[in-house]
Amino acid sequence: MNIKKQFTEGLITNNPVLVQLIGMCATMAITTTLFNGVGMGLSVLIILTCCNVVVSAIRKIIPNEIRLAIFVVIIAGFVTIVDLLLQAYIPALSDALGVFIPLIVVNCIIIGRAEAFCQKNTVGASFFDGIFQGLGYTLVLIVMCVFRELLGSGRFGGGLIDIVNGFRFTLDGTGSGIQIFPEDFGASILTLPFGGFITLGLLIAIMQYALKKSAKKKEAAAKAEKEAEEVC
């Protein structure tokens, strides 16, 4: 398993949200501003990487019968650590994400990767798997946020970017973002639950379309090759 392959798998061909279709609750719930999306994505990335490393490190000494219980305890531990750190150092993010931070415990991405990947692979491979799967998750969150925020309220980078006092990144969630078009013209329905479902539906549809197309292309290429061989 090389790193490059893991990279494309995590980000595109085996993307946790768009292809494995897991961890969707938070994806739909919190993607209303870029601040939330980036914060949630990075939190999951950190927790996933830590859990992956720990699980793969102790994979040989944990008894098979209680492995799921142990995974859950380890995950809950890391989630609580991140939760406490966020409360202490980025309280605005902790407020914005609310109950969805502790709920990372039951996010299927983390227990899914522990069960499907880290049990069978080395610490190094699991580390990169955590990073790339986490990046894939963050990427989807960012795309959803940008789409919903832009069309919903005509803004980009709400909470994260401040242009009132010169261009800068705000880590306390106070930045008002860049107003692309007046808020009154935005379809504010997109920032509501309805928008979450529709946006994710569209994204997965686009992904399926792209994957199918590339599969067809490969098939056609293989067919052409075969025909060429036959001609010879």
The distance of Cα 11 from the centroid of its chain, to the nearest Å, equals: 9
| Nearer to other proteins (CB atom), residue 21 or residue 221 | 21
- Determine which residue in the list 16, 152, 157, 177 makes contact with other proteins, applying CB under 8 A: 152
- CA 29/CA 47 separation, integer angstroms: 19
- CA 151/CA 153 separation, integer angstroms: 6
- CA 65/CA 134 separation, integer angstroms: 28
Which amino acid makes up residue 105? V
Strands 155-156 and 168-169: unpaired
- CA 125/CA 116 separation, integer angstroms: 13
| Nearer to other proteins (CB atom), residue 105 or residue 118 | 105
Q: Retrieve residue 157's tokens.
A: 């980078």
Least CB distance from residue 61 to other proteins, whole Å? Answer: 9
Least CB distance from residue 69 to other proteins, whole Å? Answer: 6
Site string for other proteins, 164-203 (x = CB under 8 A): ----------x-x------xx---xx-xxxxxxxx-xxx-
Q: Are 145 and 37 in contact (CB under 8 A)?
A: yes
| Nearer to other proteins (CB atom), residue 1 or residue 215 | 215
Site string for other proteins, 112-151 (x = CB under 8 A): ----------------------------------------
Q: Retrieve residue 153's tokens.
A: 């309220």
Answer yes or no whether residue 21 interacts with other proteins by CB under 8 A.
Answer: yes
- Determine which residue in the list 2, 99, 164, 166 makes contact with other proteins, applying CB under 8 A: 99
| Nearer to other proteins (CB atom), residue 164 or residue 232 | 164
- CA 166/CA 230 separation, integer angstroms: 66
Angle (CA) 185-190-192 rounded to 5° is 120
Under the rule (CB under 8 A), what is the footprint of other proteins? Answer: 21-26, 28-30, 32, 62-63, 65-66, 69-70, 72-74, 76-77, 79-81, 83-85, 87-89, 91, 95, 98-99, 102-103, 105-108, 111, 152, 174, 176, 183-184, 188-189, 191-198, 200-202, 204-206, 208-209, 212
